[in-house]
Amino acid sequence: MAIATESVREKWSSRWVFILAATGSAVGLGNIWRFPYVTGENGGGAFVLIYLLCVVSVGIPIMMGETLIGRRGRKSPINAMRTLALEEGVSTNWRFLGWLGVVAGFIILSFYSVVAGWSVAYIFYVGGGAFAGTNATASASLFDSFTGSAWRIIGWHSLFMVTTGIIVARGVTGGLEKAVKWLMPALFVLLLVVVVYAMSTGNLGAAVDYLFASDFSELTSKSVLAALGQAFFSLSLGMGAIMIYGSYLSAETSIPRTIGLVALCDTGIAMLAGLAIFPIVFGFGLEPGSGPGLVFVTLTIAFGHMPFGQLFGALFFLLLTVAALTSAISILEPVVAWVVESFRWSRRKASGISALSAWVLGVGSALSFNQWADIRLVGKTFFDWCEFLSTTVMLPLGGLLVAVFVGWRMSKRATAEELGIGEGVLFQTWRVLVQVVAPIGVLLIFGNALVIFLQDINVLD
């Protein structure tokens, strides 16, 4: 017998607001910062094609699963999992899946805020002409000097976290909804402006060839696994964000169509980010596979030599900041929702305490680049361990368990009812993907990450 799960809390005012919110959650530094450099490291167009296949076969099925859990449970991820476990007559230990996502998101927010603070600072550095006429050595030196100052990066980390906490404290309609209604259109406009500028000043032809011309001879097993990992992480899966956003979704809204649009928007923005970055990279003879430093070190060299580079460089880092903020509010929300439900605190108090706690943990990550840089456990700093445990262990494990729960523990009747697509070909295709294909994909991500970790600590040669 189904257990009543109707929520008394707020809901999104429309399907499009949910699409904006979920896209904002998915679109973050992972799309605009990480996607271009991972593409650069793995050969371009062929990698993009594999990435798209992974989004369809792994990302979308799990995202649909998270959304239907959230909407059917109508609570925070922890309490939603407990409610649905009772409804399905399975062990209430499944609530630990909710805990896994919430804790992973909390850890991610702590160090994500630190990196997002770099983006905020670089709005003013680039806009103020700090990189005018710079070269590779000077750009790297400025970045090292910035991250080497504990007070600087803690200060920017604090500003970003306070902003995130204030938005979440205002609630679903007064905070999250208003924020995404403004931030997502602003993000899209800023991205288009930077794309047009990059096309007019850089080498568009080389960028298009690099992004979309497929040369499968360059693909390796490592590239395929990187595409699989990027598809999983870029959709904000496994951290409770999509689950909690799903809990605010109207029962009349089609989950398959809505999630399809979210994935399309997320992927489209990742592609546009490539068209914003690579024309500049190729136009100035820079290295497309220069790794994480592509944005903070490599691109700033180009902005320092381009016409109106200070203005458009500042706009680019403003774009990064907006993208990071839309993700951060979605990561904090599951924690706040659980605290409100469990302790009956006001949303303001829950948001303040939760944001402060994440800020404290984030200070450890900030210090990893300066005072604590030499403090390492099996070769990893505090920042490295936070990133490794959350993104490499907890998120894939959470995604795997979501697939297992909706695919194998929830009844066909319940999932079909929530998805609203009957039990025909489309539903059966989703079932196969979520029961078999997605779990295999996530296990490959997890296994590859584990092998790399063991190699890093010299367990495997």
Torsion of CA 250, 256, 258, 262, to 10 degrees: 140
As a whole number of angstroms, the longest Cα–Cα distance in the chain is 69
Site of tokens 């204030």 = 166
For 315, residues 6+ apart whose C-beta sits below 8 A from its C-beta are: 190, 193, 194
pLDDT digits (tens, 9 = 90+) for 445-457: 888 888 877 777 7
Of 87-96, 233-242, 358-367, 427-436, the poorest mean pLDDT is in 233-242
| Both tokens assigned to 422 | 């009957």
Query: Rounded to whole angstroms, how far apart are CA atoms 29 and 296?
Result: 12
pLDDT (0 to 100) of residue 290: 66
For 7, residues 6+ apart whose C-beta sits below 8 A from its C-beta are: 74, 75, 247, 248
Query: Rounded to whole angstroms, how far apart are CA atoms 320 and 28?
Result: 7
Average of pLDDT values for 115-137?
93
| Exposure b/e, 289-298, CB count within 10 A at least 16 = b | ebeebbbbbb
Domains of the chain: 15-456 (1.20.1740)
Amino acid identity at 286: L
DSSP 8-state class, residue 290: -
Site of tokens 């710079």 = 134
pLDDT (0 to 100) of residue 339: 95
Helix (H) or strand (E) holding 180: helix 178-201
| Total-model pTM | 0.92
| C-alpha pair distances (Å), 181 with each of 23, 68, 184 | 12, 23, 6
Q: Judge whether residue 33 has pLDDT over 90.
A: no
Query: Rounded to whole angstroms, how far apart are CA atoms 109 and 160?
Result: 11
Query: Rounded to whole angstroms, how far apart are CA atoms 133 and 139?
Result: 10
**Cα 30 versus chain centre, distance:** 5
DSSP 8-state class, residue 390: I
Q: Judge whether residue 164 has pLDDT over 70.
A: yes
Q: What angle is formed at CA 241 by the lines to CA 12 and CA 398, rounded to 5 degrees?
A: 145
Q: For residue 215, what pLDDT band results from cuts at 50, 70 and 90?
A: confident
Of 17-26, 41-50, 171-180, 305-314, the poorest mean pLDDT is in 41-50
pLDDT (0 to 100) of residue 2: 46
pLDDT digits (tens, 9 = 90+) for 56-101: 999 999 999 999 999 999 999 999 999 999 999 999 999 999 999 9
Q: For residue 5, what pLDDT band results from cuts at 50, 70 and 90?
A: very low
Q: Judge whether residue 363 has pLDDT over 60.
A: yes
SS3 380: strand
Query: Which among 215, 224, 188, 190 has a CA at the least distance from the CA of 54?
Result: 224
| Both tokens assigned to 374 | 């030499």
Query: Rounded to whole angstroms, how far apart are CA atoms 242 and 307?
Result: 41
pLDDT (0 to 100) of residue 91: 96
Burial class (CB in 10 A: 0-12, 13-18, 19+), 256: middle
Higher per-residue confidence, 401 vs 294: 401
Q: For residue 292, what pLDDT band results from cuts at 50, 70 and 90?
A: low
The neighbour count for residue 220, using CB atoms within 10 Å, is: 11
